[in-house]
Amino acid sequence: MVRVPQAWEIGYHLSDGSRRARFLTASASSWVRPNVHALFAQYPADLIVATHPLATAPILRALNRHRPPFVTVVTDLVSTHALWYHPLSDLCLVATEMAFQRALACGLTPEKVHITGLPVAERFGQPSADRDTLRARFGWPQDRPVILLVGGGEGMGPLKETAMIIAEARLPAALAIVTGRNTALRAELQARQWPIPTFIYGFVREMPDLMHAADILVTKAGPSTISEAFIAGLPIVLYSCLPGQEDGNIVFVTSHGAGVWAPHPKQVVAALKNWVDHPEERLAAAAASRELARTGAARKIAHILAARLGVE
């Protein structure tokens, strides 16, 4: 039995972690300061937007008070590192209530932190056609659920092992596998004979339509894919994660009933079999997933940034 971390554990040692993070960035600031000054001398800006935790403290320390407004857009869902939250940041935009509480524990004041959701492409909320039309376009069967298996843009995680054991279980379902930029894996999977209807894709730009055409998503616990799945209303089977950084995503999905944590291929099959055999449970998870969606996050963030610049 693999233990799922509890919600209260996700922000453990907040103050200690914050102090360690501040110490590390302070130690490195003298090394990066000249490069930061050179960068902004070459590219002067009216607003700075940081979307990576390692960019926040060096820029703020280097420019100090002589800078334009600085906004941090936190691109993790729950297990957010203390480096995201710097007291000199003018505004911090976070995806969830847990990230908001983490920001406060790291020393930011409530008026500096806004919950916006995680920004994803608006196409995830606006499919190009209805489900039946999308399935017909992809050549997917209409008479059985379709499992969408993804491993991020790079085809990460035990993607091959998971795909093989799903197929070998011979569930009354179809399988669509997205290998991303992992061309070797795509070629290997395409060369195999599959016992159930199986469709292999490489790096795709139509992920919104694939999600809206599918019935179940099997994925690693990355924040962007999870947020996209919420918008598409997909129940989620999480099969791997980055320890620490994505642990909170597992808690967030499972505690809201939007999915299950299945870190071993046999557990993935068990979860899928349950949802295939009990469609009412699958539909309940899909509804819970849809409830967590923040479809307008990217547009909301854009309006906030425009307001900072005084643009209507």
- Do residue 160 and residue 253 come from a single domain? yes
Q: Among 109, 124, 94, 102, which Cα is nearest to 300's?
A: 94
In a domain, 110, yes or no: yes
Type of residue at 54: L
Range of the domain at 212: 122-291
The Cβ of residue 171 has, within 10 Å, a number of other Cβ atoms equal to 20
Q: Taking 50 as the threshold, does the pLDDT of residue 5 lie above it?
A: no
Q: Taking 60 as the threshold, does the pLDDT of residue 33 lie above it?
A: yes
- Do residue 206 and residue 110 come from a single domain? no
For 149, residues 6+ apart whose C-beta sits below 8 A from its C-beta are 159, 162, 163, 166, 175, 176, 177, 178, 218, 219
Cα–Cα distance measured from residue 166 to residue 147, given in angstroms and rounded to the nearest whole number: 9
- Do residue 147 and residue 113 come from a single domain? no
* Model confidence, pTM: 0.86
In a domain, 1, yes or no: no
The Cβ of residue 229 has, within 10 Å, a number of other Cβ atoms equal to 29
- Do residue 282 and residue 162 come from a single domain? yes
- Do residue 76 and residue 196 come from a single domain? no
Tally the domains of the chain: 2
- Tokens of residue 149, six digits: 């298996």
CATH number at residue 63: 3.40.50.2000
Residue 11: pLDDT band with limits 50, 70, 90: very low
- Do residue 15 and residue 156 come from a single domain? no
Looking at the chain, the whole-number percentage of residues with pLDDT higher than 70 is: 88
Cα maximum dimension of the chain: 64
- Do residue 89 and residue 223 come from a single domain? no
Q: Taking 90 as the threshold, does the pLDDT of residue 126 lie above it?
A: no
Average pLDDT, the chain: 89
| DSSP track, 79-110 | S--GGG--TT-SEEEESSHHHHHHHHHTT--G
- Do residue 106 and residue 137 come from a single domain? no
In a domain, 106, yes or no: yes
